[in-house]
Amino acid sequence: MNPPTNYRMFEYDKRLVPSKWIRQNEGTRAIGLSPGYPAWGLLYYAVLAHTQADKYNTILEIGTNYGTSTIILAEALIASGREGRVVTVEKDRDTALIAEDHFKAAKVSDYVQLIMLSSKDYFKASCIGITVAFIDGSHDCQDVVDDFEGVLNMLAPGGLVIFDNTTMGGVHDALKIIKSKHGGNFVEFPCCSWSPAGMVFWKR
């Protein structure tokens, strides 16, 4: 029997979400295909736990969608009080423009750099050091492996990589390949997110 594919919660104390805009828009179409609560908390505290006081912190997101996860990443960076930015990469222009409006409404635009490119083209053009990466673009197995390897070439020492939708499907299969090829430490949180559920944290 397959595990449940949806652990996203809707009936919860909205004060637990560290974004006023998301609290106000929970349950509406503006949220889009976001991981939702409680996964937002994982993203928020992962960034808080990995930003460094003595360095510029780049938080990379592959797959912006409507920008809700981006907003949570930015809120965490703001709360940390440390220098940095969230770089989010989205290949679909129409979706990216919706996300851009959401960043403005959530008042995080000053902390977000939206790049309208495929992740493959982004990795060709960039060489920045990444503090935290959230991989949530294409869920095709090979695309996930390619995105991970692109991130790996740019990951700062001690950097963290987070995968969404990990309990089955393309991301699940990609993680097996990554584990075999690159090793590292994997921690899975299976009871969050949706379609399919699960998040995985990876570190060297």
List pLDDT tens digits, range 105-117: 999 999 999 999 9
Range of the domain at 155: 46-203
* Residue 91 scores a pLDDT above 60: yes
Strand order in the sheet with 185-189: 112-115, 84-89, 57-62, 130-135, 155-164, 199-203, 185-189
The pLDDT-based confidence of 162 (bands split at 50, 70, 90) is: very high
In this predicted structure, what is the pLDDT of residue 3?
A: 63
Whether residue 122 lies inside any domain: the answer is yes
Whether residue 72 lies inside any domain: the answer is yes
Residue 187 sits in a domain whose CATH number is 3.40.50.150
Whether residue 144 lies inside any domain: the answer is yes
* Residue 169 scores a pLDDT above 80: yes
Whether residue 18 lies inside any domain: the answer is no
Cα 192 from Cα 3, distance rounded (Å)? 12
Cα 160 from Cα 130, distance rounded (Å)? 8
- Going from the C-alpha of 54 to that of each of 50, 83, 161, the distances in angstroms are 12, 9, 20
Whether 195 and 65 have beta carbons less than 8 Å apart is answered as no
Q: Is the pTM of this model over 0.75?
A: yes
For the segment 130-158, what is each residue's pLDDT rounded down to a tens digit? 999 999 999 999 999 999 999 999 999 99
In this predicted structure, what is the pLDDT of residue 2?
A: 60
Whether residue 108 lies inside any domain: the answer is yes
Whether residue 41 lies inside any domain: the answer is no
Q: What is the mean pLDDT of the chain?
A: 94
Whether residue 32 lies inside any domain: the answer is no
- pLDDT > 90: percent of the chain: 88
* Residue 1 scores a pLDDT above 80: no
Q: Which residue has the tokens 């937002």?
A: 40
Number of domains in the chain: 1
Cβ-count burial of 81 within 10 angstroms (0-12 exposed, 13-18 middle, 19+ buried)? exposed
Whether residue 10 lies inside any domain: the answer is no
